[in-house]
A = this chain, B = another copy of it.
Amino acid sequence: MISEFGVFTRIQILLHSSDNKCITSRCSEGCYLLRYYSAFFFFCFFWPDQAFVTLATSDSYAKGALVLGRSLRDHRTTRNLAVLLGPHVSEPFREALRRIFDEVRLVDVMDSGDSAHLALMKRPDLGVTFTKLHCWTLTHYSKCVFMDADTMVLSNVDELFEREELSAAPDPGWPDCFNSGVFVFRPSNETYGKLLQYCTEHGSFDGGDQGVLNSFFSNWATADISKHLPFIYNLSSIAIYSYLPAFKQYGSNAKVVHFLGKTKPWSYTYDTTGKRVVATVQESSTHPGFLLKWWDIYASTVAPLLVKLHGDQQFHSGCVIGEVAAGVRHLDISQEEPAPVSSEERKQRWEQGQADYLGEDSFDNIQKKLDSFLK
């Protein structure tokens, strides 16, 4: 929102959340400008009614949310940025999120005492899912795009707001399911209530939000092609290796990259002098180009902010200067893609567990990989 109206650029306003948990009105000049009724006036006239929404349940995921928010700002989105916050995110990270996002909303399902809490009592296994579903309660927006904290935009994607609920890209694992890492939705208390009810009655076939949402929006695969977001709006780093020729053909159009998998960008270390990512062999399945882009944003804008906000507090930024510890190696951070493989080779790789460890199936790398299995 803010960047659209230059005069308000340095003002951040966090309005009442519906459960009165989050009341803040702040001006970077240190003065309080707008409160309550003036905020309401402002809200009516200038607050965009559409937003990108993400979720941070820990300090680590907050790093992801910060890079995502920064990437959206860098590509000049005209929509608001909102983040749902789990109760375990520390104060310096919350403050950093407030600097980049227009709205930071704490969601503590355990403490809410509402229908979500009741649902959680019945299905304690679905804690994070209930937190994510809270996005449907952002009813001061008419339409939102949810993006997981392990995604990053590579260009402006405001055109996603032309889509309707529920629009999402196919999941590469089972492509008649959508991947719930990026989806377009319409906040609605009615839908939220139905989702909670569905969760408590049916659970989730995969134990997470993707299972619930696919069962609830069950006609996604068959009803309306306009609700199929192109895969380039949720490009799993996994898909790059599972069908490399397609990535080479279509990957240059990627708009959103999704760092699906156990090892997230923030799990690596970054050498700020050499501008290169440092990884052990076990951590090497992410496309080096995208990973480097993530770290470029993180090291240049997010880490300095976090260092400042932590003050004297200990803080693991993930950045190192110059020499790195023994036992780690540098990922090839060049933008070069791995050597092409044929369809047949691709099929063989599937069979062999996609054994393309950094594009080097050498004895040395395989030995290390195996050592890690056999520990």
Cβ-based interface call for A238 (8 A): yes
Interface size grouping (class) on chain A: 35 or more
* Given A224-B225, A351-B262, A354-B353, A173 contacting B172 (CB threshold 8 A): yes
Cross-interface CB contact of A243 among B171, B222, B231, cutoff 8 Å:
B171
Separation in Å of the A227 CB from the closest CB of chain B?
9
The residue in A175, A230, A352 that gathers the most chain B C-beta atoms within 10 A of its C-beta is A175
A239-266 residues with Cβ-Cβ distance < 8 A to B are: 239, 242-243, 245-250, 260-263
| A242 contact set on B, CB distance < 8 A | 172-174
Cβ-based interface call for A138 (8 A): no
Cross-interface CB contact of A208 among B238, B285, B342, cutoff 8 Å:
B342
Contact A243 B173 (CB under 8 A): yes
Cross-interface CB contact of A173 among B246, B344, B355, B373, cutoff 8 Å:
B246
Contact A354 B351 (CB under 8 A): no
Cβ-closest chain B residue relative to A369:
B353
| A350 contact set on B, CB distance < 8 A | 238, 260-261, 285
Cβ-based interface call for A177 (8 A): yes
| A322 contact set on B, CB distance < 8 A | none
Contact B367 A363 (CB under 8 A): no
Contact A246 B206 (CB under 8 A): yes
Separation in Å of the A126 CB from the closest CB of chain B?
12
A334-366 residues with Cβ-Cβ distance < 8 A to B are: 342-344, 346-348, 350-355, 363, 366
CA of A247 to CA of B225 in the docked complex: distance in angstroms?
Answer: 23
| A223 contact set on B, CB distance < 8 A | 225
CA of A246 to CA of B211 in the docked complex: distance in angstroms?
Answer: 8
| A249 contact set on B, CB distance < 8 A | 205-206, 211, 215
Separation in Å of the A81 CB from the closest CB of chain B?
26
Cβ-based interface call for A60 (8 A): no
Separation in Å of the A258 CB from the closest CB of chain B?
11
Cβ-based interface call for A158 (8 A): no
9 pairs of A and B residues whose beta carbons are closest in the complex: A173-B243, A353-B353, A174-B246, A206-B245, A170-B175, A175-B175, A208-B343, A176-B231, A173-B242
